[in-house]
Chains A and B, each alone.
Chain A
C-alpha cells in the first residue's frame, strides 16, 4: 500500500507571535510539524507496517520545511517530496491543494492522508480539496482505518459523541482526527537512516497550477476582548483566597 502523507510545518506551539500584515514575522521563532499531521504520519507508518508498501512525506513551503521533512523521514517515511515555495503562507486553501494534488498525481498511490487542520491557518480544507481535484473518494475526521480486499472500513467521528462506520474504496483521501493513535518518537537509528533518504524538491511554479486566489487574508490582529476579565494577583495563597471570595460573594457560584 503506497501512502502519501501531507505534512505542514507551522510555528511552534509556544512561539511568541509578532503580527506582520496578514502573516507573522517568521524570523526569531521556531517551527514544528503540525501536530494533527503527526497523527496522519503515524497512521501511514502503521498501515505500511501492516500491509507493506511505501510512505511518502509531502510538504510545501520555504527551505525551513526541510527540517520537518527530515523528522518525518526519521520517524519512518521512506522518501519525501518538497514543494518549494517561499510565498507559501499567501496561498489560499484551493491554491495549496492544487499544488499538492499536482505533486500527488505524479505518484502512484493508494492512499493520501492529511491531518485534520493546521494549527496556524486552521482552514481544515486540504484533504477534501485534494480529493475533489483528483476526483477521489474521501472521508474526514477518521478515528480508525481497516483495510481488506482493496476497500477500507473507517470509523468517522461525528459531533456530540457520535461515530459512524463508512466503507470507502481505494484509492482515496482521508483526513485523520487527532488522537487516533499514539505518535512515535524518532529513534537515533531512524535519524541516521533518514540522512540517506531521498528528498525530491520541486518548485511550486513548475507544477503548472494556477496561483490565482479565491480568498485573501487582508490582515490578522489580536482579537478584541468581548468580556472584561478581572485579573487576580498576589502569592498563590493570596490569589486563592481572593478567588474563593469572588466566587462566593460576587459570582455566587459556590
Chain B
C-alpha cells in the first residue's frame, strides 16, 4: 500500500500535528508493509521539504505554485486532486486541523471518495484497516472502515499519536520530487485577507500551573463566583469550556479547547465539564486531572485521575473551605 501524508504549516512553521500524522503513517506502514510519502504544499517551502526528507519516508512530494502561497480551499483542492491522480496513493492521511476540515472532504469528493475524519487511532485486522473515531461528543467510540476502492482519505486528531516517535530516515535523506500542478487564478473564488488575533490576552493560561475550569454544569453566570472563590483558594486561574465563553459569561481568552488555548498545567480541575473532544484536546496534557460531574458517564472521567460524581454546587464551596483550612493549618 502507498500512504501519502499531507503536511501542514501554520504561519510558515510546522504544525506539530503534521508530525503526529507522519508517525501514524509510519506505524500503519510497518503493520501493513506499506511505503510512506510526505507532501509539502505552498510557495517557497523547498527548505521545509528538505527537512521532511530527513524523516523515514520513501519520498517527499513538493507542490509549489504562486497561487498556493496563501491557503485557499479551491487552490488546495485543485492542486492536490492532480497530485493524488498522478501519484496514485492508496491511503491519504491528514492532520485533523481546521484547515484540513475546510478542504479535505471536498478533495475526497472530487475523486468520488469519502473521508474518515478526526480519527483517534486505527487497528489492522488481518490486512483490513479499521479507523477509530469518537461519536456523540466523545461518549462513544466508533470503528469505521472504508468501502469501495482506493484512494481512501482519513485525518487524525491532534494528540492521537506522539510526534517524538517520528523515525528519522535510515540512510540520511529521501528524495524530494517536485510535482507540477496547473492552476489558474479564476479557479480560486475566495480571497484570503489578513490574519489577526483579537485584543491581546491579559491572561496567559498556558503558563498557569493550576487551572479551575467550568463547563455547562455551572448553569448560570450568577454561579461563577463560586468557581472563582475556589480558584482563588487554590491559587489558580479560572478557565472554561467553549459554551461558557460563547454565552459571554467568561471572556474568550479563558477558553480551553481546540478553538481556544491548549494547556498542560500541574492541576486541571474540571467542574461540570462533560469532556467533549473539542475541550479535551486542549487540556489532556495536564499532569493531574480532577473531574467533578453529576453524570457518572461523562467522558471527562475517562481522562481524570480523580473523579467525583456529584453536584458541583455542593462540592465547590466545600472544597474552597477545605483548601482555606489546609492553608491556615
A150 within 8 A of B: no
Please report which residues of chain A, range 117-160, place their CB below 8 angstroms from some CB of chain B when the two chains form the complex: 119-125, 128-129, 131-133, 137-141, 157-160
Given A132-B109, A167-B190, A120 and B135 contact (CB-CB distance below 8 Å): yes
Q: Can you name the residue of chain B whose Cβ is closest to the Cβ of A125? A: B105
Q: Report whether B267 and A122 are in contact in the complex, using a CB–CB cutoff of 8 Å.
A: no
Contacting residue for A140 out of B101, B136, B315, CB 8 A: B101
Q: Is the CB of B308 within 8 A of A132?
A: no
Q: Judging by beta carbons under 8 Å apart, are B97 and A159 in contact?
A: yes
Report the separation of the CA atoms of residues A218 and B147 in the bound assembly, to the nearest whole angstrom.
11
Within 8 A of A (CB), among B120-151: 130, 133-148
Q: For residue A251, which residues in chain B have a CB less than 8 angstroms away from its CB?
A: 267, 287-288, 305-306
User: Given known contacts A158-B195, A178-B242, is B210 in contact with A253 (CB within 8 Å)?
Assistant: yes
Known: A179-B246, A215-B145. A132 touches B106 (CB 8 A): yes
Residues of A within 8 A of B301 (CB): 229
Tell me which of A44-52, A76-84, A193-201, A220-228 binds B.
Answer: A220-228
Given contacts A140-B98, A253-B287, 18 further A-B contacts (CB under 8 A): A17-B140, A94-B109, A122-B136, A125-B105, A132-B105, A132-B110, A159-B98, A160-B262, A167-B191, A213-B148, A214-B146, A215-B145, A215-B147, A217-B143, A218-B143, A218-B145, A222-B141, A236-B315
A binding-site residues for B, Cβ under 8 Å = 11, 14, 16-17, 19, 22, 24, 92-94, 97, 119-125, 128-129, 131-133, 137-141, 157-169, 177-179, 212-227, 229-233, 236-237, 239-241, 243-244, 246-248, 251, 253-254
- Are A244 and B193 within 8 A (Cβ)? no
B103 partner residues in chain A, CB cutoff 8 A: 128
Q: Mark the stretch among B38-46, B51-59, B320-328 that contacts chain A.
A: B320-328
CA distance A93 to B318 in the complex (A): 47
CA distance A22 to B143 in the complex (A): 9
Are B130 and A218 interface neighbours, CB within 8 A? yes
Contacts of A253 in B (CB 8 A): 209-210, 266-267, 287-288
Q: How far is the CA of A24 from the CA of B142 in the complex (A)?
A: 12
Let me know if B319 is at the binding interface, CB within 8 A.
yes
Q: Residue of B at shortest CB range from A230?
A: B306
Chain B CB within 10 A, most for which of A17, A141, A214: A214
Secondary structure at the A interface, as helix, strand, loop or mixed, is mixed
Give the nearest-CB partner of B196 in chain A: A163
A residues in contact with B260, CB < 8 Å: 161
The CA-CA distance from A162 to B138 in the complex, in Å, is: 26
Contact of A122 with B315 in the complex, beta carbons under 8 Å: no
Q: Is the CB of A161 within 8 A of B198?
A: yes
Instruction: Verify A166–B136 contact, CB threshold 8 A.
Output: no
Question: Which of B27-35, B111-119, B162-170, B221-229 lies at the interface with chain A?
Answer: B111-119
Of the residues B11, B110, B235, B304, contact of A229 by C-beta under 8 Å: B304
A179 engages B245 (CB within 8 Å): yes
A120 to B137, CA, bound (A): 7
Residues of A within 8 A of B116 (CB): 215
